[in-house]
Copies of this chain bind each other. A is one copy, B any other.
Amino acid sequence: MPEMFTVLPPAEALKVLFDHLPLEIREESIATAEALDRVLAGELTAPSSLPSFPRSTMDGYAVRAEDTFGATESLPAYLTLIGEVPMGHASALAVGPAQAAVVFTGGMIPPGADAVVMVERTQKLDAETIEVLRAVAPGENVIHVGEDIQEGEPLFAAGHILRPQDLGGLMALGITDVRVAARPHVAIVSTGDEVVPPEQEPGPGQVRDINTYTIAGLVARAGGVPEIKGIIKDDYSSLLSAARSALEAADALVISAGSSVSTRDLTSDVMNELGKPGVLVHGVAVRPGKPTILGVCNGKPTIGLPGNPVSAMVVAGLFLTPLLQRMQGLKNPPAQRRETARLAHNISSVPGREDYVQVRLVEREDQLWAEPVFGKSNLIYTMVKAEGMVCVPLDSNGLHQGEQVEVELF
């Protein structure tokens, strides 16, 4: 019975959902080379130091720094060339007093040497002698063992999302496999006697399925795997059996509900039958977003989305995206892209409800303006024509023309 539920503000509704979810993260091991944008399941520490040998940062000569002290262009230091350090091999050379060895960028500093003189700061006198025209300090132009990372140093915390440089940093240490959160599989069930698949020519009174594809896109963007389960007729037993088999094979279930009163109750009845505790939240103080149903069935989250395609996207953004991040153990979700703009028209709202308004961004008078996209809130092309949304907060009764607003970009 929907009447038993209080309409909650979005943040509270999300908390109720999270409080009923199990804490475990489903994990898997994958190749680091395939792990871009995946979420680390556990903390990682460096198995060895990087670099593992002292390396030159320049093309030049490995020397004992003290042999160059006081060297200038007019009074150079003279050093004896004892050979060249080959790239990718240990050197048999050892640099003694007043000696120098050719070394390339990235090459090993031979024993005895403690600094590198850039080739540009030297002059070759003959095959065996160089002049050093400027002094180097001990350690100059050298990367020491462990200067990049030390053995045992923490690399990443659990819940870190892997970026290109992180893959490189792991590979540098020979960590070619990583344990990450499995991508949550989200079954998407669409309902509605009037809904037909997009490839079908709709008959009179029929419309093509939109929500399956917008929700699948949002699932993919949040790191999940959408499982498209097709369109189910608006009757209890069809929806229950489709929802049950969809949820069994997936980590989460989304039902894009028919929007009439009767089908709304259908979704909630089915969610209560799927497993305990069933429906947790029925109705959220957000517009557009009616009706939103949040539940957990046998440890798996289930979300009933409005049939209205704009509401469905707004509600999925508020609940499904954070849910998928939480299911992957993501600690610091990447900040949403935003733009600051001035509002081109008044937006009215009522306190006690969050409003989301689609806006276009327009450059005018050297400023960026957020122009609300007009049109009934259930038209998908109001979302298509928009670049982002402006949120009117819970306690506000509207935003004024000319006000600075934050636009959450799509």
* Partner-B contacts on A (CB < 8 A): 32-33, 36, 50-53, 55, 57, 59, 85-91, 104-108, 119, 143, 147-149, 155, 163-169, 171-176, 192-196, 198-199, 201-218, 220-221, 228, 234, 258-262, 307-309, 313, 334-335, 337, 339, 375-376, 378-381, 383-384, 409-410
Contacts and interface: CB of A to CB of B under 8 A. Distances in A.
Contacts of A208: 171-174
Contacts of A91: 205
B383 A194 contact: no
Nearest to A119: B261
Count chain B CB atoms within 10 A of each CB in A89, A106, A119 and give the residue with the most.
A106
A410 B214 CA distance: 26
B207 A51 contact: yes
A137 to B, nearest CB: 14
A51 B215 CA distance: 20
Nearest to A358: B165
Count chain B CB atoms within 10 A of each CB in A211, A262, A334, A383 and give the residue with the most.
A383
Main secondary structure of the interface of A (DSSP, over half): loop
B169 A206 contact: no
A360 to B, nearest CB: 13
Contacts of A173: 208
B87 A168 contact: no
Contact of A383 (B165, B201, B378): B165
A104 B260 contact: yes
Closest 7 CB pairs of A and B: A164-B217, A90-B204, A88-B194, A168-B214, A104-B260, A165-B383, A171-B198
A202 B90 contact: no
Task: Count copies of this chain in the complex.
Answer: 2
A202 B375 CA distance: 63
Contacts of A228: 33
Nearest to A85: B205
A164 B260 contact: no
A17 B334 CA distance: 32
Given A105-B308, A169-B210, 15 more contacts: A33-B216, A36-B217, A36-B220, A57-B378, A87-B205, A88-B206, A90-B203, A106-B192, A106-B260, A106-B307, A107-B260, A147-B375, A147-B376, A164-B313, A171-B212
A261 B164 CA distance: 27
A88 B205 contact: yes
A335 B335 contact: no
Contacts of A217: 36, 163-165, 167-168
Contacts of A380: 50, 148, 165, 168-169, 172
Given A33-B213, A59-B260, A309 B168 contact: yes
Contacts of A174: 198-199, 201, 208
Count chain B CB atoms within 10 A of each CB in A89, A168, A379, A384 and give the residue with the most.
A168
Given A199-B176, A335-B339, A376-B57, A211 B168 contact: yes
Contact of A214 (B50, B164, B194): B164
A234 B87 CA distance: 10
A206 B87 CA distance: 8
Contacts of A176: 198-199
A264 B202 CA distance: 62
B89 A205 contact: yes
